[in-house]
Amino acid sequence: MSFNTNEDTDAGQALLRFLRGPGDEPVPERIAELFAPGLAPEAATRLLESPRLRFRAAALLATRLGDASRALAALEPGERMLILAFDATAAFARAASFAGAVWHAGRVRALVLRDDIFAFEKAVQFGTGARAMALRHSDLAHPADNTKEPLADIVIRDGHACLAAWAASLPEPIAARVRLRFPEGSQYGEALRDAANTGRRCRILRRIATEASAP
């Protein structure tokens, strides 16, 4: 399979940015880890912003991330669309919100009072879409969702956990690029240790991929 990398198209530009390196607005902490262990995030940001060094720095990152073109071509179309959408920071946040809402769909469905629904949609980023996604894909909800924590607090946390499990299932050159989008403190490693729920988390992302990739 081949891709259209015509830079005159939005899709072509997103693909080229994905293949060349970390993309726009990567999380500084993740970039620093790629450059060198212990490098300060501020130093990594300065390297990428330096007129003299940024091209060499970007080339180094692209080399360390590996060639993702063949792996990307082998993915299902919905997953490929979602990964390329991550070039925009909002797309990653939207995917986390949607996935977390599906994970907690049992509790989301229990919101029946107008004030409760409004409060959820206001508290959760992309809340209206997240609620719609939870209602549409409630068959994938976690069956033992009996936590007493505030729903808005745990939707994004568990959305990140779904994204982490799904990213770990992708070929490494793609997974490495997706990891760059995880915000600081998103407990990426903890999600990977939750092996019992990995399959369900991955199914959620694959189910919602096409919808979550649309702005």
pLDDT tens per residue across span 39-84: 888 888 787 778 787 778 777 777 877 777 888 888 899 998 888 8
The reported pTM is 0.79
Q: Which of 13-22, 90-99, 125-134 has the lowest mean pLDDT?
A: 13-22
Q: Which residue has the tokens 């300065």?
A: 46
Q: Which of 99, 67, 107, 119 lies closest to 167, judged by CA?
A: 99
More confident residue, 113 or 56: 113
Q: How far apart are CA 20 and CA 57, in angstroms?
A: 12
Query: Of the ranges 9-18, 42-51, 122-131, 185-194, which is most confident?
Result: 122-131
Domain-by-domain residue ranges, the chain? 18-65, 71-213
Residue 25, classed as helix, strand or coil, is coil
What pLDDT sits at residue 75? 87
Q: Are 214 and 208 in contact (CB under 8 A)?
A: no
How deeply is 212 buried, as exposed, middle or buried, from its count of CB atoms within 10 A (0-12, 13-18, 19+)? buried
Q: Are 90 and 101 in contact (CB under 8 A)?
A: no
Q: Which of 67-76, 107-116, 163-172 has the lowest mean pLDDT?
A: 67-76
Which amino acid would we find at residue 85? A
Which CB contacts under 8 angstroms, 24+ apart, belong to 6-13? Answer: 11/84
What pLDDT sits at residue 215? 75
pLDDT above 90: residue 32: no
What band does 21 get if pLDDT is binned at 50, 70 and 90? low
Kind and range of the H or E run holding 102: helix 89-103
Q: Which of 2-16, 30-44, 117-131 has the lowest mean pLDDT?
A: 2-16
Query: What mean pLDDT is reported for the chain?
Result: 81
Q: Are 137 and 167 in contact (CB under 8 A)?
A: no
178-214 tens-digit pLDDT: 887 777 666 666 556 666 688 999 999 999 999 999 8
